[in-house]
Amino acid sequence: MVVLDGTLGAAGHATEFLKAIQPGGFLIGLDRDPQVAELAVRNLEAAGFARGSQFEVEVTRFSGFRKALERRRVAAPDRLFLDLGVCSLHLDEAKRGFSLRREGPLDMRLNPGEPGTRSAAEILATETESRLSWIFEKYGEERFARRVAREIVSARGREPLETTSQLRELVARSIPRKAWPPQVDVATRVFQALRIEANQELAELDEVLKQLPEIMKTGGRAGIISFHSLEDRPVKKAFREWAQGCVCPPELPICVCSNEPSIRILTPKPAVAETEEVEANPRSRSAKLRVAEWL
């Protein structure tokens, strides 16, 4: 059995996958961040697994999974897994610029060395007010997107926005105090939007969903964990479309489209973390897992 973990992180999920598929199983792990990929290798080897014979790790976007499979001469995986968003390592490391609570440079890129990427600071420095407003509204669902964008354009004319604390304070000034969310930081949505824009996360997800029907084999399963509605909606929509049978207009007496479902949805309602897990790992509270099996 071959498992493809497209978002390897620190290899927590991968370790469990490898335990489940031994003996004889193989895992291909992908991560966009070279530092995280190195850590994953160390963790998997510390867990007793052999690189080359039981697993391999590549530094690449998860949308590049087909090439990763080809390099291993694997036509299709038996299992494919994605854990979307960023891993805790990014949030906990101040110098990566993801954290609201730790002072650091406004970077937010999963792989700063990847050609063609822009840091959050570069986005804030170069995009127009209307474009920034669109980013915050589209990717952060921020009600006060226009106010925040206007304040950013005004502020950058006085001094460059280069640190997480600068941006956090600016967002806090832009949003009326009575409108601050009760349980999360006021700048959470803006930080999320910049991270998604910097890494083109939703475009990556769309590309994977476009490729999945072409690559999965009969009996293969794909599981995708999302952490907010922007990620969950396209996954839910794609699964529903693939699980749909006849698409003929309801007024036709018989089916003429011959459309057959290509998957069976194994999670009619997404699986969510139980109370004990949320208490141990608060970041899991918004996680939703959807699983489909190809027919």
Contact 193, 230 (CB under 8 A): no
Looking at 92-101, 232-241, 256-265, which range is the least confident one?
Answer: 92-101
pLDDT in tens, 27-41: 999 999 999 999 999
What is the token pair recorded at 36? 């995280």
Give the C-alpha separation, 37 to 59, whole Å.
7
Whether the per-residue pLDDT at 100 is higher than 80: the answer is no
Average pLDDT over residues 195-222: 94
Portion of the chain with pLDDT greater than 70, in percent: 98
Whether the per-residue pLDDT at 117 is higher than 70: the answer is yes
Whether the per-residue pLDDT at 283 is higher than 80: the answer is no
Contact 191, 123 (CB under 8 A): no
The band of 98, judged by pLDDT with boundaries at 50, 70 and 90, is confident
Average pLDDT over residues 259-288: 88
- What is the phi-psi region of residue 278: left when phi exceeds 0, alpha when psi lies from -120 to 50, beta otherwise? alpha
Q: Domains plus CATH for the chain?
A: 2-88+201-294 (3.40.50.150), 92-199 (1.10.150.170)
What is the token pair recorded at 292? 């489909």
The band of 91, judged by pLDDT with boundaries at 50, 70 and 90, is low
Q: Note the pLDDT of residue 109.
A: 92
pLDDT in tens, 39-82: 999 999 999 999 999 999 999 999 999 999 999 999 999 999 99
Whether the per-residue pLDDT at 189 is higher than 70: the answer is yes
Looking at 115-129, 132-146, 239-253, which range is the least confident one?
Answer: 239-253
pTM for this entry = 0.89
Give the C-alpha separation, 127 to 119, whole Å.
12
Q: Note the pLDDT of residue 92.
A: 64
CB atoms within 10 A of CB 146: 17
The alpha carbons of the chain give a radius of gyration, in whole angstroms, of 21
Q: Which of 289, 290, 288 is nearest to 263 (CA)?
A: 290
SS3 annotation, the chain: CEEEECCCCCCHHHHHHHHHHCCCCEEEEEECCHHHHHHHHHHHHHCCCCECCCEEEEECCHHHHHHHHHHCCCCCCCEEEEECCCCHHHHHCHHHCCCCCCCCECCCCCCCCCCCCCCHHHHHHHCCHHHHHHHHHHHHCCCCHHHHHHHHHHHHCCCCCCEHHHHHHHHHHHCCHHHCCCCCCCCHHHHHHHHHHHHCHHHHHHHHHHHHHHHCCCCCEEEEEECCHHHHHHHHHHHHHHHCCCCCCCCCCCCCCCCCCCEEECCCCCEECCHHHHHHCHHHHHCEEEEEEEC
